Amino acid sequence: MATPANNIINALKCGNSIVVAPSPKSVPSCETLIEYIHAEFARIGEDSDLVRMVPAPGSKVKTQALMEGCDKIVCTGSQNNVHRAQMAGLPAVAVGAGNVTVIVDETADLAAAEKIRASKCFDNATSCSSENALVVVDAVYDGFVAAMAVAGGAVTDDEAAVVAALWPDGHLSREVIAQDADRMIAALGLAGRVPDGTEYIAVPTTGIGPDHPLNGEKLSRLLALYRAADFDAAITTTRTIQLHQGAGHSVGLHSTDADRPMILARAIPTSRVIDNQAHTFATGGSFTNGMPFSLSMGCGSWGGNATHENLHWRHFLQSTKIVREIPPREPSLEDIFAEYWNEAGR
């Protein structure tokens, strides 16, 4: 319920009322959230109608009716939800799909393995900002895998068995997604085959595209692990993954080369390059990086969104400008074109 809570706070901060439309499976937890909010409203004498929820049971029909009758739509969740919101005929702020890929280059501090563990395991990897693939440069591959093992990451080479267990009928298995490590490991058939204390699994792979599901979002403590000959090859792999799924969201880089974040930003269709940080925590905003606090990331036109920013309180705010005349500050043509004329001629 973190996303509804976040958006409710944003809406109230900017003087709005808000109606929440959870997915059917989220109705009980959303009802509990609304109860907590209304209890606090009662303490301060506030109107409970400021925050409401579509009555249970939730449905697409009810949600569609809400989207067609409100003033502004803020949509997160599946891309089907996003598409429906954008087609409702009202102003809509929607966010795109995540499928974070992180590069570990040959200059990286291998202590990055601990940051990746913390990020990957947070909230059982259900965040859109959770790492889904690592691309590791050959020069540090063995050392990084060893550092992963120390930080609780186990590598299994049985890609076919993992894929079969994670997508038993072509859909992500509920026995695997959003599960604690021990339950996920058992569901993948890896109990007794990985070290005690394993917190997440990495599966070496080379495939990218619709016929290789490991390169997509997995919503579980499971990583696809790619090798790259050098940094240029790592960029190529990362770009290919992002164009398959996750374009516009974010990528990560662990490197001590100060020039490489900009190189990566220019090469990848992404709104965020998270540099040497635990990706899940950094993407959503941090006191140490200045990003707006958010649980919803716009992906720009790359991801089919109107915004590439973190969805935060300013997206819930409308303002009125009072416009008065001021003394003119009009530049001359010389001010504007002098440099160009000096170079190209007048």
Rounded CA-CA distance 304/83 in Å is 9
Residue from 75, 121, 128, 299 carrying the catalytic annotation: 128
Q: What local confidence, expressed as pLDDT, does residue 243 receive?
A: 96
Fold of 2-96+306-316: Aldehyde Dehydrogenase; Chain A, domain 1 (3.40.605)
CATH, range 100-292: 3.40.309.10
| 299 noted as active-site residue | no
**Residue-averaged pLDDT of the chain:** 94
Residue 299 near residue 97 (C-beta atoms within 8 A): yes
CATH 3.40.309.10 domain locations along the chain: 100-292
> pLDDT by residue (tens digit) across 249-280?
999 999 999 999 999 999 999 999 999 999 99
CATH 3.40.605.10 domain locations along the chain: 2-96+306-316
Answer whether residue 236 shows pLDDT above 90: yes
Q: What local confidence, expressed as pLDDT, does residue 256 receive?
A: 98
Q: Categorize the per-residue pLDDT at 7 as very low, low, confident or very high, splitting at 50, 70 and 90.
A: very high
The CA distances from residue 248 to 5, 78, 83, 84, 151, in Å, are 25, 15, 16, 20, 29
Q: Categorize the per-residue pLDDT at 193 as very low, low, confident or very high, splitting at 50, 70 and 90.
A: very high
Of 49, 66, 116, whose CA–CA distance to 254 is shortest?
Answer: 116
Answer whether residue 170 shows pLDDT above 80: yes
Rounded CA-CA distance 95/93 in Å is 7
Residue 87 near residue 60 (C-beta atoms within 8 A): no
Q: Categorize the per-residue pLDDT at 95 as very low, low, confident or very high, splitting at 50, 70 and 90.
A: confident
Q: Categorize the per-residue pLDDT at 48 as very low, low, confident or very high, splitting at 50, 70 and 90.
A: very high
First to last CA, the chain: 62
Answer whether residue 152 shows pLDDT above 90: yes
Q: What local confidence, expressed as pLDDT, does residue 87 receive?
A: 81
Higher-pLDDT residue of 304, 327:
327
Neighbours of 166 (CB within 10 A): 23
Q: What local confidence, expressed as pLDDT, does residue 143 receive?
A: 98
> pLDDT by residue (tens digit) across 60-73?
888 888 888 899 99
